[in-house]
Amino acid sequence: MSTIMMKEDHFGFYVFKVILVGDAAVGKTSLINKYVFNQFAEDYKASIGSNIIIKDLETDDGKKVKLSIWDIAGQQKWEVMRPVYYQRADGVLLIYDVTNKESYDNLFTTWYHEIQTIHQDFKLMILGNKSDKGDLKFEDENALNEKFNPIKIIKTSAKNGENVEKAFIELTKAMIAPLYE
Ligand code: GDP
Ligand code: MG
């Protein structure tokens, strides 16, 4: 069976697993809610374990895609479970908060090490979230590129929607591309 066939279910959808990874409170749940439901909430409710949301989309060249989007809790207490949730991910959105340097620094330590537990190829995009709050500009794009080889590094806002849809669509295109190489 070809790789392309294996990535399509019997209704002709491409099926991909996307995981959101990063510190607690960087906006993982909010980005999903904005993208899937066009909703944003100011109050913070810590996620429990993992939640999976299915989102159907169509690329601009007419490919039908089903994303299973995994919202994975970032707190220390879920550390043991996370590598289980990560398995078979086709795409990773690695997220920090542009107003919180610690969440950026942790990309290079905690989160870098955790995603090494994913045992197959995946595409990765880096999102600097909360761009609506201003940007403290501690990011070093060269360092990020060197460490993570991301398909893109972009600034997003789950609050005003900046680049939110774009992030999911660009990641989806990057996941589709190797199937046609
Ligand atoms: P998670 O722990 O990574 O899932 O983070 P949440 O999505 O729960 O968000 C944590 C807090 O940050 C909540 O109070 C959200 O309202 C807020 N938040 C998330 N994204 C944004 C954003 O883009 N801009 C602003 N201003 N606040 C955000
Ligand atoms: Mg959450």
| Domain boundaries along the sequence of the chain | 14-180
Q: Are 29 and 47 within 8 A, CB to CB?
A: yes
Give the angle subtended at the CA of 100 by the CAs of 148 and 82, to the nearest 5°: 55
pLDDT in tens, the chain (181 residues): 445 555 666 578 899 999 999 999 999 999 999 999 999 998 888 877 889 999 999 999 899 999 999 999 888 888 888 999 999 999 999 999 999 999 999 999 999 999 999 989 999 999 999 999 987 889 999 999 999 999 999 999 999 999 999 999 999 999 999 988 8
**CB neighbour class for 64 (10 Å; exposed up to 12, middle 13-18, buried from 19):** middle
CATH number of 14-180: 3.40.50.300
Nearest to 54 by CA among 62, 44, 42, 64: 64
Distance 49 CA to ligand 2 centre (A): 9
Q: 74: Cβ below 6 Å to ligand 1?
A: yes
Give me ligand 1 centre to Cα 2, in Å. Answer: 40
Closest ligand 1 atom to residue 23 Cα is: 3
Q: Does the beta carbon of 53 sit less than 6 angstroms from any atom of ligand 1?
A: no
Ligand 1 atom closest to Cα of 22? Answer: 3
pLDDT at 163: 98
What pLDDT, on the 0 to 100 scale, is given for residue 6? 59
**Apex CA 16: angle with CA 13 and CA 18, to 5°?**
145
Q: Is 159 in the pocket of ligand 1 (CB under 6 A)?
A: yes
Close Cβ partners of 25 (under 8 Å, ≥ 6 residues apart): 44, 74, 97, 103
pLDDT of residue 8: 64
Residue 44 beta carbon below 6 angstroms from any ligand 1 atom? yes
Q: Minimum-distance ligand to the CA of 95?
A: 1
* Ligand 1 near 128 CB (within 6 A): no
164-176 helix and 28-37 helix, angle to the nearest 10 degrees: 90
